[in-house]
Amino acid sequence: MKRYRLLVLSVAGIVLVLVGLLVFGNLNSNLVYFLTPQEAIGRRADFPDGQRFQLGGLVREGSVDRSEGGLRFVVSSALDATSPSVIVEHTGAPAQLFQAGIGVVIEGTWQDDRFVSDTMIVKHDENYRPPATEGAAS
């Protein structure tokens, strides 16, 4: 009987360890880590030109300049003009909800004093409003 209990406890322990590894081991791959503009500027030496990382912040009002190949804008920790900011050059189509004043996480590399990105995720609010349709009754 003691051997049976020992066997059951051993198997239960192994199962708990495996479940823990599956649940918590995969958790890190699903998290999105990004640096704020202030952190990115402060840790500039940790990310030499060409090393990818994610940068997150708010798109400063009046800084968005669209071009044929993408866009250029300024990301800062806050929307005021005094907070640290980074100039971003994004190639490709921006996220559909992209606009000034919205939170954004972009992935790319430093190139000189600007951040060049090719991947963008925008933060939206929790209120869903369907797009306005032409001719819809109000």
Is 90 part of any known ligand binding site? no
Is 33 part of any known ligand binding site? no
Element (H, E) at 19: helix 2-25
- Please name the residues in contact with 97: beta carbons below 8 A apart, sequence gap of 6 or more: 122, 124
- DSSP-derived pairing of the beta strands 114-122 and 85-91: parallel
Contact criterion met (CB below 8 Å) for 74 and 88: yes
Contact criterion met (CB below 8 Å) for 40 and 55: yes
Q: Specify the 3-state DSSP secondary structure of 124.
A: coil
The tokens of 26 are what? 């995969």
Annotated binding site for heme: which residue ranges?
124, 128
State the binding site: 124, 128
